[in-house]
């Protein structure tokens, strides 16, 4: 089904664009929300006007929120949570919790649907995008730490875990290289043995020929 977008739709298109979408997506979401209409010949007559209006609206909103995006880019938010010894949370840090923290920080209402993230279920550092507009999508840093401990402790534990993983990977590579070398050496020995046996057999055959 082809639709004409009346508003910017994240990851789909901008106002005035014609997009092919699933019928269910169009009827159950885009059209009821006033985000699109069927791309009929009559609707297409207004496509240029819709696109120009969208550009003006987009530029205005981007200008209004440009400073907010700069303020958010790279900013750290911390959350305390209960977690197991394996650093897995008893529960999760969801988009609603992140949206509330961001809204409180910047003084601008941010909805959970604007947070591009799955629920966070592990201690440590997480990178999360905040969709302010279709153009402004700053990334923030979420640090989830164990209750009663500091955010730095979670980062240190994460760094230690990463270091151990690197050491294990390096050890595995060394063992793999050694195994390959042993295999090559064994193969070389087999070739040398086969060559000696061949020479011995050739010598015996020659002696038998001379005796005959």
C-alpha distance across the termini of the chain, in Å: 93
Mean pLDDT confidence for 140-152: 92
Read off the pLDDT band of 177 (50, 70, 90). confident
What is the tens place of the pLDDT at every residue in 47-63? 999 999 999 999 999 99
What is the tens place of the pLDDT at every residue in 16-38? 999 999 999 999 999 999 999 99
Of these ranges, 58-67, 157-166, 186-195, the one predicted with the greatest mean pLDDT is 58-67
Please report the domains of the chain, with CATH numbers, ordered by start residue.
2-65 (3.40.5.10), 71-149 (3.10.430.100)
pTM: 0.66
Average pLDDT over the chain, rounded to an integer: 87
Q: CA nearest 114: which of 132, 136, 100?
A: 132
Q: Which residues lie below 8 Å from residue 13, measured CB to CB, with a gap of 6+?
A: 5, 19
Virtual torsion, Cα 54, 60, 63, 65, nearest 10 deg:
-80
Report whether pLDDT(104) > 70: yes
* pLDDT at residue 109 in the model: 92
* pLDDT at residue 17 in the model: 95
d(CA 65, CA 60): 9
């Amino acid at each position: 089904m082809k639709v004409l977008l009346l508003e910017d739709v994240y990851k789909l298109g901008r106002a005035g664009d014609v997009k092919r979408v699933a019928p269910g997506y169009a009827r159950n979401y885009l059209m009821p929300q006033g985000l699109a209409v069927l791309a009929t010949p009559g609707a297409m007559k207004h496509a240029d006007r819709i696109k120009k209006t969208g550009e003006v609206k987009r530029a205005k909103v981007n200008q209004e929120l440009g400073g907010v995006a700069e303020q958010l880019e790279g900013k750290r938010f911390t959350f305390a949570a209960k977690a197991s010894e394996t650093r897995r949370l008893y529960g999760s840090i969801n988009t609603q919790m992140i949206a509330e923290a961001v809204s409180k920080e910047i003084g601008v209402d941010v909805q959970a649907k604007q947070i591009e993230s799955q629920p966070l279920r592990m201690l440590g550092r997480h990178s999360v995008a905040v969709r302010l507009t279709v153009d402004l999508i700053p990334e923030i840093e979420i640090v989830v730490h164990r209750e009663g401990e500091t955010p730095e402790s979670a980062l240190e534990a994460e760094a230690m875990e990463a270091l151990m993983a690197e050491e294990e990977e390096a050890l595995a590579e060394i063992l793999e290289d050694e195994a390959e070398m042993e295999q090559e050496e064994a193969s070389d020995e087999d070739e040398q043995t086969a060559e000696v046996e061949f020479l011995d057999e050739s010598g015996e055959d020659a002696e038998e020929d001379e005796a005959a």
